[in-house]
Amino acid sequence: MKILVLNAGSSSLKFKLYVMPGKKLLAQGLIERIGEEESVVHIIYDKKRHETTQAIRDHRHALEILEGLMPRLGILESFAELGGVGHRVVHGGEVFTRATLIDKKVRETIRQLIPLAPLHNPANLLGIEAVAALAPAMPQVAVFDTAFHQSMSPEAYRYAVPTEWYERYRVRRYGFHGTSHYFVSRELARLKGTPPKNINCVTLHLGNGASACAVRGGESIETSMGLTPLEGLVMGTRSGDLDPGILFYMYKYGFRNPEEVDRELNRESGLKGLGGSNDMREIQRRMEAGDETAKLAFEVFIHRLVKYVGAYAALLGRLDAIVFTGGIGEHSAPVRRALSERLEILGVVLDKKANESPSTDARTIHTPESRVELWVIPTDEEGVIAEETYKAILDFG
C-alpha cells in the first residue's frame, strides 16, 4: 500500500510518499510560498531532484500540481494508486488519543480545536480539505502531536487555576512533538533490544521548536510544552517559560496589546530575542568569536534544559537514558556537551570523541562508566505518521 504523508503549513505543504509495510520512501518534497506568484515545488525521488517555480493559488492547487507531476516524473501512475493519506495535526485536545480515520465529525472537531492551536490546526485542515476536494473517496488519517501525552496524570496536566478554566475552556497542559517523542523512545528500546516498558528516559526534541518529555515504561508522564507550544524550553523564536505577570506588566507599561505580545513571545523571543538569531549554528559561531549576546542566549538555552532534565529525573525515579533528537539535538555537539557537563550529579559521563562525531546514524555518546546512557537518535515523524495511517486503514477502513 502506498501512503502519502502531508504536513500542511499556512503557506507550505511538506510531503513524503511511502510503500507500506516496510516504510520504503519513494519520494519527498516541499511546496512553499503557496498563494504567491512565485511558489516553489521541490521534489526528491530516485536520487533525482525536481524544482519548478510557478503561481500556486492554494493548497488544493498545490495538490493538483503534485498529482500531475508524480506521473510525469515516474513516481506514481496516478493518485488512484494511493491507499491513503496521513496528516500531521498539531492539536487533538482531550478528544483524540490515537491516530484517527477522518470523517466529517473528526474534521469538525479539529476545527473546534482551532482556539487551542490557532497557528497550526487551520493549516492542517487546509491539507485535509484539499485532499477531500481532490479525491473524496480517499481514506485520510489524522495523527496528532498531542496524542502521546494523553497518558499524563491530572497532577501533571492540570494548571493551578480556577476549575472553571479547565471544565469550561479546557485549559490544561497538552504537550506537543508527541510523534517525535514516541518515535525516539521506541527506537531507543529497539536499539537496546528491550521492551519499552523496561526503560525510563528523557527525550529532548531540540530544534527551532523544542520540548522535553519524561517517558516511563513507554508512556509520557510529563512534557515541557503546555496548553500551547509556547511553554517550556527556550526555542528559536519562542520564549518558553515566563512569569504570567509579565503579560500584564507589558500591557500596562510596555503599551502592547494582546496580539503584539503574542507575536513577540512566539516570533521575536527565544534565541532570536536574546542573541539576534533563531539559528543555533549562528549563535554558536558568534559565541566562539566572542559575542557576549550570543553567549548569553546559549547559556540561557542550556540552563533551562538542565532544570527540566533534573526535574524529570526526579519524577521518573530512575533515569536510564537521555535521548537527543531534532535539528539541534542531532547536530549540535556544543549543546550536548554543555548539557552533559552540567548533569554530572546524575552520573552522566560524556564520551567527548563520540559526541564530536559528525555521524547521522543513531549512536551512543556516553562512556562505559556513565550511569545514564546518552543517545543521539534522528527522529522520523513522517515515518510514524505513515505507520499509524497504514494501521488505521487496515483496522478501521
Where do the structural domains in the chain lie, given as residue ranges?
A: 2-144, 194-381
Q: From the candidates 58, 103, 145, 241, which is the catalytic residue?
A: 145
Task: Estimate the crossing angle of helix 292-316 against helix 280-288, to 10 degrees.
Answer: 120
- Structure confidence by residue, pLDDT tens digits, 220-230: 999 999 999 99
Is the distance from CB of 69 to CB of 43 less than 8 angstroms? yes
Highest CATH level, class, for 194-381: alpha beta
Residue the block writes with cell 512565485: 38
* pLDDT over 90 (residue 50): yes
For the chain, percent of residues with pLDDT exceeding 70: 100
pTM: 0.93
Measured CA to CA, the distance from residue 145 to residue 159 in angstroms comes to: 20
Instruction: Calculate mean pLDDT across residues 14-23.
Output: 94
- Give ∠ CA 94-146-386 in degrees, rounded to 5: 120
pLDDT tier at 253, thresholds 50, 70, 90: very high
The grid coordinates of residue 359 equal 555521524
201 pLDDT more than 90: yes
Which residue type occupies 140? Q
C-alpha cell at 175: 504537550
| The pLDDT of residue 397 | 60
pLDDT of residue 219: 98
pLDDT at 150: 96
Same fold, 2-144 and 194-381: yes
Told to judge if 145 belongs to the known catalytic residues of this protein, a careful annotator would answer yes
Q: Is residue 262 within a helix (H) or strand (E), and if so which, with residue range?
A: helix 258-267
The domain 2-144 having CATH identifier 3.30.420.40: the answer here is yes
